[in-house]
């Protein structure tokens, strides 16, 4: 799996589970509401108990009122009582065509940080079920500020 970033990560999450998550995210691309940017993003978040929460981006004429796919999935999960997560798959592109990797914005990185240990949570950027890259949140958000800093 040369798409993997770092060694040994395939032991943390199976290729079959990644394919399932990518498939679930792909289903969400068509549901994105992106009339202003035309850039559709979808996410599939895996909770520690194995449940998958999906989301898509939802834009708004008042731009700050919109929401990213990653936070949509996260907020759905949290609103249903989930607080521990293993990984998230993110994919997106103009018009819903996935041609490159779609990393999470800084706000989404910080929102995910609230509910995980950055060194143990995986962010999977996917173009397809077979073409993806895996990062830890720690790699994408080094020296992060989390809940433990306030305790």
8 A C-beta contact, residue 79 and residue 13: no
Cα–Cα distance between 93 and 112 in angstroms, integer? Answer: 21
Catalytic-role residue among 12, 20, 27, 70: 70
- Please say if 139 is a catalytic residue: no
Q: Give whole-number Cα distances, 50 to 13, 17, 100, 110, in Å.
A: 11, 10, 27, 22
Lookup: tokens for 58 = 């939802």
- Give catalytic residue positions: 70
């Amino acid at each position: 799996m040369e798409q993997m970033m770092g060694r040994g990560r395939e032991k943390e999450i199976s290729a079959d589970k990644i394919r399932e998550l990518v498939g679930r995210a792909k289903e969400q691309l068509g549901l994105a509401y992106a009339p202003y940017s035309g850039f559709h993003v979808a996410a599939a978040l895996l909770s520690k108990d194995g449940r998958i929460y999906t989301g898509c981006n939802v834009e708004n004429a008042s731009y700050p009122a919109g929401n990213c796919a990653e936070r949509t999935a996260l907020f759905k999960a949290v609103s249903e009582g989930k607080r521990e997560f293993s990984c998230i798959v993110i994919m997106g592109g103009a018009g819903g065509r996935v041609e490159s990797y779609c990393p999470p914005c800084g706000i989404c990185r910080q929102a995910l940080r609230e509910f995980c240990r950055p060194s143990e949570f995986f962010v999977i950027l996917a173009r397809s079920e077979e073409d993806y890259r895996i990062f830890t949140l720690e790699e994408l958000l080094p020296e992060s500020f989390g809940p433990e800093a306030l305790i």
